[in-house]
A = this chain, B = another copy of it.
Amino acid sequence: MSAQSAHEAAPGDTAGDAMPDAMADASAELAAIRLSIDNIDAALVHMLAERFKFTQKVGRLKAASGMPPSDPERERAQIARLRQIALEAQLDPAFAEKWFNFVVAEVIHHHEQLATGAIATSSSAPSSAPGDAS
C-alpha cells in the first residue's frame, strides 16, 4: 500500500527487523499523503483568494450604498447550506460551521473598517485584506 522504503529487508531478516521496516513504511506513506495535503492547501488558498475578491466587492458596494456590514439572515442561510454540503461530503458539519464563522468574522471586521472609512472604498484600494463574508 505504501511506497517501498529505502530500508530494504535483507534475505534472512526475521521479525527482529519488522519494526524498523514498518516505521520506514509509515514515514514513506506519511510523505506521500503530505504531498496530497499540500496540493489541496494550495487549492484552498487560491479559492480563498478568489472568495475575498468577491467579498471585497460586496464590502465596497455595501459601504457605497449605506448597507450594514453584516447580514444575519444571509449568514444563517449560508450556515444551513454549508452544513448540508458538509454532511453530504462526510465532513463534520460543526467543523464546517466553525470554519465559516471564522472566515465571516475576519470579513465583517474588514467591512466595518470600510464603513468607517478606515479603508479606501475605491476599487484601486490595496486588495490584500479579506473582504466580505456574505
Contacts and interface: CB of A to CB of B under 8 A. Distances in A.
Given A41-B78, A65-B23, A134-B34, A52 B85 contact: no
Given A48-B91, A61-B30, A91-B49, A38 B128 contact: no
A45 B129 contact: no
How many identical subunits does the complex contain?
2
By size class, the interface of chain A is 35 or more
A53 B37 CA distance: 10
A14 interface: no
B91 A29 contact: no
Contact of A33 (B29, B58, B78, B85): B58
A106 B96 CA distance: 11
A7 interface: no
A62 to B, nearest CB: 8
A95 B34 contact: no
Given A22-B65, A37-B55, A45 B78 contact: no
18 contacts: A23-B65, A26-B64, A26-B65, A30-B67, A36-B54, A37-B51, A37-B54, A40-B47, A41-B100, A43-B47, A44-B47, A44-B51, A45-B96, A48-B99, A49-B89, A50-B89, A90-B127, A91-B128
